[in-house]
Amino acid sequence: MRCMADRGSRGEHDGGEGYLTGQLLVAMPTMRDPRFAQTVVFICAHTAESALGIVLNRALDSLSFDSLLEQLNISPLPPRRRIRMHAGGPVETAKGFVLHTTDWMQDGSLRVDERFALSSSIDVLRAIARGEGPRRGILALGYAGWGAGQLDDEILQNAWLSIPADEGFVFAEDLGAMWRGALSALKVDPLLLSGAAGRA
């Protein structure tokens, strides 16, 4: 696990028009990239230079939380507390990131906003294993990343919709229902959505 705090401006929302830090991206039904089909992505940082997000609705079945702690020599084992494991995105899939509430922070944590933070130090896993750490969190291997202007272009091409994030949704247990639930929050039927920008 490695600190991501050097990306962007430590996750603070720039206040610029179009920046989506702290919001959710919902893949359109016509999403062509199979890595993001029917995904919901929490945007941890979005600036003019880059964007970084964590996929919320892809469970990681290849590794358990206990197995990860064992590999990292973190005790106690079994841990006093566990968090769910996610496939966070196609970039740097061997690296771990904990998306969590801001009641627990450390110097290397990336503060997204007043509600959410991202930590990649092993210290957050040690705290969780002891039964401490943030009140709520998920552990993601890998992340979704975009270069300068790339995410903006994808949104203009109707690849994504954006909606506000809330704690209940970000840390929801039913991953299978998350994508349709996000579209329902927009009062949109996915079968009626058009993938062509500007089409009536």
Segment 78-123, tens digit of pLDDT: 999 999 999 999 999 999 999 999 999 999 999 999 999 999 999 9
* Domain locations along the chain: 23-192
Ramachandran sector of residue 155 (left: φ over 0; alpha: ψ -120 to 50; beta: rest): alpha
CATH class of 23-192: alpha beta
- Residue 129: pLDDT band by 50, 70, 90 thresholds? very high
Cα distance between residue 132 and residue 159, in whole Å? 39
Mean pLDDT calculated for residue range 48-52: 96
The number of beta carbons lying within 10 Å of the beta carbon of residue 200 is: 4
Encoded amino acid at 69, one letter: L
Q: Which carries the bigger pLDDT value, residue 103 or residue 17?
A: 103
What single string gives the DSSP state of each residue in 116-182?
A: EEEE-SHHHHHHHHTT-S-SSEEEEEEEEEE-TTHHHHHHHTTSEEEEE--HHHHT-S-GGGHHHHH
Q: Which carries the bigger pLDDT value, residue 125 or residue 197?
A: 125
Encoded amino acid at 189, one letter: D
The residue whose two tokens read 């349709």 is 180
- In this prediction the pTM is 0.86
Residue 71, classed as helix, strand or coil, is helix
Length of the chain: 200
* Closest of 41, 11, 22, 5 to residue 154, by C-alpha: 41
Q: Which carries the bigger pLDDT value, residue 52 or residue 200?
A: 52
Cα diameter, the chain: 58
Cα distance between residue 128 and residue 126, in whole Å? 6
Residue 54, classed as helix, strand or coil, is strand
- Residue 197: pLDDT band by 50, 70, 90 thresholds? very low
Q: How far is CA 13 from CA 40, 77, 88, 113, 116, in A?
A: 20, 38, 21, 7, 12
pLDDT at 12 over 60: no
Mean pLDDT calculated for residue range 32-55: 96
